[in-house]
A and B are shown apart, each in its own frame.
Chain A
Amino acid sequence: MSGLIEFLRALRPAEKYLSARSVAAAGFVLALAIPRFNLLDNYLQLLLMLIGINIILTLSLNLINGYMGEFSVGHAGFMAAGAYVSSILSVRILAAHSPVWVFPCAVLAGGLVAGAVGLIVAVPSFKTRGDYLAIVTLAFSMIVKSVIENIDAVGGPRGFLGMDKLTNLPWVFFWVVVTIWITRNFIYSRFGRGILAVREDEIAADLTGVNTRNVKMLAFVVSSFFAGIAGGLYAHLIQYISPGSFDIVKSTEMLVMVYLGGVGSIAGSILGAASYTVMLEALRPLGIWRMAVMPLLLVLLMIFRPRGIMGFREARWLVPFLERDGGAKK
């Protein structure tokens, strides 16, 4: 983890030469080259893919918890929806046909279904906030879990398998870029300022003409869409999913990544997801005790650095040109 932070720090001076586009292009070349020429061993490739999936999840949750200031602790539910829908599609329906385009379609469909589910969860958020909304989202994720456990056709509590290992580095990277791009576009837009206004003061937002219901719905749909995408990628990477894969511990992991990297920051989300994933791997020798370190870390973070490493700050190259310097440039 410290190595990673060092690395990112070393990039600082070079940042002014960076643009989102050049970073994306270079990354994509790498993502294609690494598996093609076996530049990294399988374990490191798996780790990179997990980091990518976690970046998507972290951005997804950050949209709700960081930018909109609402409080979701049930994001694993959206992830489950995406994972199950895409897996069922790829195993039951699409596998017989051409395999090349099956996978992106299945993942996309998982994301869309998760997005639709997000729309339902947005409705209680019109009336409730803070801890009560936390309960609603948690109850929602428990319901998702419980529903899956009661559907025998998808294996019930035993889980679901049979997916091919279709997730690879280029696809993960592609979706990471899409997630970052769309999230950034959203934040720096009419609706993005709307959700920021909701975070700062919902009543004042309503009274300055922000249609708070619409922006909340949009935020929940976008957020749950990406959580669903991450679920689909995860399912086709691990090739086994069960209701237990998407429990409260998974949601808590996402919270750790958001609050580690920084609320309300894309760069922070990337940093949080990457450092958490790497750290969890580094702690593997601890065995069972490893999972006791993660929550301890979360508690320490909350006490000593509640906004995370990058809280409310953004890496310059991720900010749209018009908005640099807080949009204050003429």
Chain B
Amino acid sequence: MIYFFQQALNAVQLGSVYALIALGYTMVYGVLSMINFAHGDFFMVGAFLCFVGAALLHLPFVPVLLLSMTGVTLLGVATERIAYRPLRNAPKVSAIITSLGVGIFLENFTLGLSPYPKYIPQLLPSFTYTVGGVSVSTFQLATIGISFLLMFALHLIVNKTKAGLAMRAISADRAVVPLMGIPVDKIIALTFALGSGLGGAAGVMYAMAYPVIDPYIGILVGWKAFISAVIGGIGNIRGAVLGAYILGMVEIMTAAFLPSTYRDLVTFSLLLALLIYRPRGLLGRAEIQKV
């Protein structure tokens, strides 16, 4: 039983990282109806900025976190401006392919800069507390605590500010929003900024937990986060968080009780099954076909 609780704690930690990334996918989908396949690589850039801050500049934890979040925010906004905005009225497929291209570009560009995996030095003093037989490390506490804090901040921005209202309006009906004087371009840029910033934070959390990073970490982790967003119903913010914790649980428990190489197999099969039986996700609404 203690083993189970220990694994559940790990699942919450993993789920938190997924949730931060999944929010980026889902928010962009909400306002643009576009899957930003490059988002996983934004996360990867966040992890590399963590390396830059911690190993090269020898900064402490909080400045490193801020550096990653700011850097990835700028990256996200720039990508939107340069690569996605020209395609806003193009067929959806063009935008999807572009985002795939941006992602692979980021991977290979990073690979060009850093051909060998990088090791992240320890950012926080490592303590382990034992509560009722379950051990909790400072990393886990920091990851879970900061994720909750960031998600709460996002919740406030989306639900309590004017910009958040505009964001929700765009996601409900993009066609009429400009008629109401909402600056669509700015709100979309803001959405990218928020989503990317969370992705950058996730990069730091991930790098603390798995300190050896390479340019391809964004592919698999990004996909897992994306699956979380789909499980919850893409475009739905609460759904993304829910999906992330479900997925974290499924993955950790699969790895705990089955050979660990089955983890991806189970995850992707789960995704396929879900897409076939409930294509709009757990919290997504079914669309009525208009003829």
A interface residues with partner B (beta carbon < 8 Å): 65, 71, 73, 123-124, 127-128, 130-132, 134-136, 138-140, 142-143, 146-147, 149-150, 203, 248-249, 252, 255-256, 259, 288-289, 291-292, 294-296, 298-299, 302-303, 306
Contacts and interface: CB of A to CB of B under 8 A. Distances in A.
Given A131-B96, A302-B87, A249 B265 contact: no
A143 B265 CA distance: 6
Interface residues of B, number: 44
B37 to A, nearest CB: 9
Interface stretch (B106-114, B121-129, B165-173): B106-114
Contacts of A256: 101
Contacts of B98: 298-299, 302-303
A255 B37 CA distance: 14
Nearest to A247: B219
Given A65-B93, A288-B112, A249 B83 contact: no
B223 A142 contact: yes
Nearest to B266: A146
A142 to B, nearest CB: 5
A71 B100 contact: no
Interface stretch (B67-75, B143-151, B176-184, B271-279): B271-279
A294 B105 CA distance: 8
A149 B261 CA distance: 8
B97 interface: yes
B135 interface: no
A302 B94 contact: yes
Nearest to B291: A203
B132 interface: no
A250 to B, nearest CB: 11
B152 interface: no
B104 interface: yes
Contacts of A203: 289, 291
Given A288-B115, A306-B94, A295 B264 contact: no
Contacts of B219: 248
B272 A139 contact: yes
A303 B35 contact: no
Contacts of A130: 92-93
Nearest to A141: B268
A150 B262 contact: yes
B207 interface: no
Given A139-B268, A252-B100, A252-B101, A71 B93 contact: yes
Contacts of A136: 272, 275
Contacts of B272: 124, 136, 139-140, 143
A249 B105 CA distance: 11
Given A295-B104, A303-B87, A135 B275 contact: yes
Given A127-B276, A303-B86, A306-B91, A295 B111 contact: no
Contacts of B90: 302, 306
